[in-house]
A and B are shown apart, each in its own frame.
Chain A
Amino acid sequence: MIKRLWPSRLGPQLALLTVGLLVAVQIVSVAVFALMLPRSVPAFEPNWLVERLAHLADGAMAQPAAARAAWLESQPEARWLAFHFDERPELLVVPPEARVSSWLTTMVAAETTYPWARIDVSTGRPRAVGPIAPPRLERIPPQSTEEPPMPPSIVFFVATFVAPDGWVLAVRPFLPGRSQSAAIVLAAWLVTFLVAASLVGWWAIARIAAPLGLLARATERFGRGISDEALPRRGALEIRTIADSFAEMRRRVARFVGDRTTMIAAISHDLRTPLTRMRLRVERVQDEELRAALNRDIDALEAIARETLEFARIDDAPGPPDRVDLASLLQTLADARADMDQDVRCVPHAPLVVLARADALRRVLGNLVDNAVAYGARARISVVDRPDAVRIDIDDDGPGIANEQLEEVFRPFVRLEDSRNRATGGTGLGLAIARNLARAQGGDVVLSNRMHADGTRAGLRASLTLPKGV
């Protein structure tokens, strides 16, 4: 499952890795931040708090009853303090473990000038939010003559002021905690971060991976004998170094192949003149039998020279592809051989246009049909027309080829041992030429064995596939 989702290309892999890492780091840092949050609640300095609370409570009472709430909310302290005005003090928010602080209560009471019926200040640690435990209004704080000790900094408190007319003002700091808006802000931040990180990451990694992709394509095409692909001129130093080395290798291979090709072509070509002389000289031989034998030898030599030249010259002049009607080409191929009393037949097909070089197609199919006739006694040609490609099958009734040798026979000059001794002759280049020509046009030639129902070989099938691209 993970394997299937994991991208196969370098760019996406790096991108996924980077974005994954960033997201993981972000999640961890947010988690740590969230865990540390309660500790970072600001604490109040007791004396300052006493002075502020008294100021706020007295100030509120100086206003008319209806304006008190508005006045309190307009004070700068409203940013961090919550005010509750309610006739029903049980709705006040007081943490259960809050304790009445006698020092604070005493100090606030002393600071106020308004004649409050009652003042209560509790402190504690906030744990939960919500209307809990009714304020212990009944409990009168102990009136001690001795000065209670001043508490250290105060994290959380609830101060309750009860006016003589029963009006209650409760003051507390905002409860620290993850409010809903904070969660939304966090989520939005995470998403924005993820998108931004992905975009930047993708761009950067595409820049890094693109030259590698270019190099990979060039290498792959070179492997198929096409050396036209541009090489990356930018990117990381390592990639440029590989590209330069590859370019150098490509040049060397091209030069090497070029030299070899020129040499083979020259030899094959130069053989033609002596072969012509031999042909003319043999004509003067009186002995019929001897003349026929010599002619057979010259035929064989000629075939080697011709096919070697063809093989060496394959990439010589590819020429532009042409619109070729495959149906008439196959029919013509079959008819021409049938006229020479060979058992070649073609299943008729409606006109079928392919973009290809007609002479190359004739050569490829001619070679395949000649093989079928030579080794398999007869050739049956049929066409399979698919949306993207055309396949031409040439079936024979011969002995077929052992499966492990189906690829081997495409190598130049390779002939199977049992055919070498037969009179079928051949140079061992026919299939190599056919496959090279087919591949030069984006197609391919493959061999397969046709099977009887009982598992024995019924013959060989040579298939030429051609891309349609019309």
Chain B
Amino acid sequence: MPAAKLLEKMQTRKSHILIVDDDADIRRLTSQLLGDSGFRVTAVADGAAMQRLLATESFDLAVLDVMLPGEDGFALCRKLRAVSKMPIVMLTARADETDRVVGLELGADDYVVKPFSPRELVARVRAHLRRTNELVAAAPKPRVKSLGFDGWKIDPIRRELRNAEGTLVSLTGTEFDLLTALAERAQRVLSRDQLLDLVRGRTAHAFDRSIDVSISRLRRKIEPFPDEPRFIRTVRNGGYVFTAEVVPLEESA
């Protein structure tokens, strides 16, 4: 365990984070926060400075403010995404759903609304860096394309599930992540631990119920007969498999 912690520390120390924010105080304070958390941080005030910096430095993750003078955060996000696969976390003062969708569609990985909790920002940065490391280990990056099964549609950007009639069926965050994790790996048996990992990695849920509870809730919402599940089958030696045929869907904006 101490070895793993040490390894993680070494990994995080290596991570270089780019911050673009026009507010000098927030730039300084966020740099301090992430610096204290063991990251190497370089902060600039606008897109022009970012471009200059990119020519000489390499980064593991970018934190972009949306409201910037000149080119806004969305434009910077698009530029950054064109040249790099690094995780991008957008910071915004607007809690609009549309802003979040635009950001994620432009290739941002996360969206944090000001005033954010500093600990949450650190947690999210850590989560994204960990996933990047897993990416190196060939773990699939979460899809941004919608998935379809038996007429149902999973939209990962809007985090929406719709049935065959196009009716919005509500899921809790955990249920949605669980369904996505299962559907992305259809026909593969996933153990409870694997599922827990996949769900935890995606978003930080403070009060996760056990996987079994979430599966049973999920079944009640999507299975025609929850007692005889067709989509999510229980595998005898502790695990679940998504048995419906899953097809990637064209993005319909």
Contacts and interface: CB of A to CB of B under 8 A. Distances in A.
B33 A280 contact: yes
B67 to A, nearest CB: 9
B251 to A, nearest CB: 18
Contacts of B29: 277, 280-281
Contacts of A325: 163, 167-170
Interface string A37-52: 0000000000000000
Contacts of A281: 29
Contacts of A283: 33, 118-119
B118 A306 contact: no
B82 to A, nearest CB: 29
Contacts of A277: 23, 25-26, 29
Q: Which of B115, B116, B163 has the most CB of A within 10 A?
A: B115
A275 B113 CA distance: 12
B26 A280 contact: yes
B26 A323 contact: no
Q: Which of B168, B170, B209, B220 has the most CB of A within 10 A?
A: B170
B168 A306 contact: no
A279 B118 contact: yes
A335 B217 CA distance: 9
B98 to A, nearest CB: 8
Contacts of A269: 93-94
A322 B168 contact: yes
B65 to A, nearest CB: 10
A278 interface: yes
B133 interface: no
B171 interface: yes
B115 A328 contact: no
Interface in B7-30: 23, 25-26, 29-30
Interface size, B (range): 35 or more
Given A273-B26, A276-B115, A279-B117, A328 B207 contact: no
Contacts of B165: 323, 353
Contacts of B54: none
A377 interface: no
B250 interface: no
Given A280-B26, A280-B29, A281-B29, A275 B170 contact: no
Nearest to A295: B117
Interface of B: 23, 25-26, 29-30, 32-33, 93-95, 97-98, 114-119, 163, 165-175, 206-209, 217, 220-221
24 contacts: A269-B93, A272-B114, A273-B93, A276-B116, A277-B26, A278-B115, A283-B119, A298-B115, A306-B95, A323-B166, A324-B167, A325-B170, A328-B170, A328-B171, A331-B170, A331-B220, A332-B171, A336-B172, A339-B207, A339-B208, A339-B209, A351-B169, A353-B167, A359-B97
What are the 6 A-B residue pairs with the smallest beta carbon separation, nearest first?
Answer: A280-B29, A275-B115, A332-B170, A276-B115, A329-B170, A323-B167
